[in-house]
Homo-oligomer: A and B are copies of this chain.
Amino acid sequence: MNSAAGRAPTSADVARLARVSRSTVSLVVNDVPTARIPEATRERVLAAVRELGYAPDVSARRLRAGTSRLVLMPLPQIPLNPSIDTVIEHLSEKLRQSGLTLLVHGDRTTTGTSAARAWAELRPAAVLVPADRCTKSSVALLRRAGIEVLMISERPVPWTDALVFDQGRVGAEAAEHLLDVGHRHIAAIVPSGPLQGLGRDRAEGLRDTVHAAGARSEEIPMDATHDSAAAAAAAVRRPGGPTAVFTYNDEYGALLHRALDDMGAAMPDDVALVGADNLPIATFLRPALSSIALNPVEIADRMGAAISSLLERAGHTEPIEAGVLAPPVLMRRETS
């Protein structure tokens, strides 16, 4: 295992080997249409590129061009789930088709200006940042540095371009379904801890929809432990309790599912359950948990499109029509 060799091959190395100038190497490598290079020369250059394993240095390229083809995505502070995984996978592919490279920043904890500085150092063309990772001034810092910012937010943001993913729609979708099948008293689980904000958004969407239908709603706090789930199950099963529960997501749903089962409650006959995020676990429970799915492929498509239009508007000032992320859809299974 030798240590890595000192220095990457440069365009000068390629030029030397192909016995042309660095300019010619650049023209061939970038396939510049205006410069007509004889086929023989082009071949010589490409052969040299292959032989040396030459890959142009993005740093140097960016420095010269003043702009990069990198899109930086800091991770949200909440844990990754299969949906986010799918979003990353498809977004990366979509951006690649536009000649952009998606990089995910490993740091998960920094927020605000210090985070913005860490992102700005890389001079990406655009940053796709979850709302929980930035503030107004950190966005300002990025934009002053010529970096486009696209926020992923639960609600509209007046001070920057944002893709709005209304988490309330998730709860609302669950509510519509549960109302449809006849429930008139519906509870929403609200997790504690870092997920609370998200949980509250979903619960509020449910509440509004339930009230609009003239039915009754309530919120039940719970955290991700069996004990807390047992307490929540007891609250659900109290006399006069709700006949249906939206469980925030499928993991909380699984916990509550088990706690209700332990109490001898039948699903969906005694209590109906609807989770969210369409995690694999939902299909493994018995009875299988209905879930509000997030449609990650569609979400990735919209993100990719938004970033592309952001980067193409170049100097224009119209806000991009970022709009709302793909609406969630019900995966009806056995618990509802």
Query: Which of B6, B93, B105 meets A103, CB within 8 Å?
Result: B105
Q: Is the CB of B106 within 8 A of A106?
A: no
Query: Which of B6, B60, B109, B280 meets A59, CB within 8 Å?
Result: B60
Give chain B residues whose Cβ lies under 8 Å from the Cβ of A105: 101-104
User: Closest B-chain residue to A145, C-beta based?
Assistant: B8
Q: Is the CB of B55 within 8 A of A58?
A: no
Give chain B residues whose Cβ lies under 8 Å from the Cβ of A104: 103-106
Give the shortest distance, in Å, between A36 (CB) and chain B (any CB): 26
Q: Is A270 an interface residue (CB 8 A)?
A: no
Give chain B residues whose Cβ lies under 8 Å from the Cβ of A217: none
The DSSP consensus for interface residues of chain A is mixed
Query: Which range holds the interface residue count of chain A?
Result: 35 or more
Mask of A48-60 contacts with B, CB within 8 angstroms, 1/0 = 0000110111111
With the chains together, A254 CA to B250 CA distance in Å? 15
Closest 7 CB pairs of A and B: A102-B106, A92-B106, A8-B145, A59-B59, A254-B284, A104-B104, A53-B141
Give chain B residues whose Cβ lies under 8 Å from the Cβ of A255: 284
Q: Is the CB of B251 within 8 A of A280?
A: yes
With the chains together, A315 CA to B56 CA distance in Å? 24
Q: Is A154 an interface residue (CB 8 A)?
A: no
Give the shortest distance, in Å, between A79 (CB) and chain B (any CB): 6
Which stretch, A116-124, A199-207, A232-240, touches the partner chain B? A116-124
Q: Is A19 an interface residue (CB 8 A)?
A: no
Which stretch, A81-89, A176-184, A208-216, touches the partner chain B? A81-89
Question: Given contacts A79-B82, A255-B284, are A147 and B59 in contact (CB under 8 A)?
Answer: no
Q: Is the CB of B3 within 8 A of A316?
A: yes
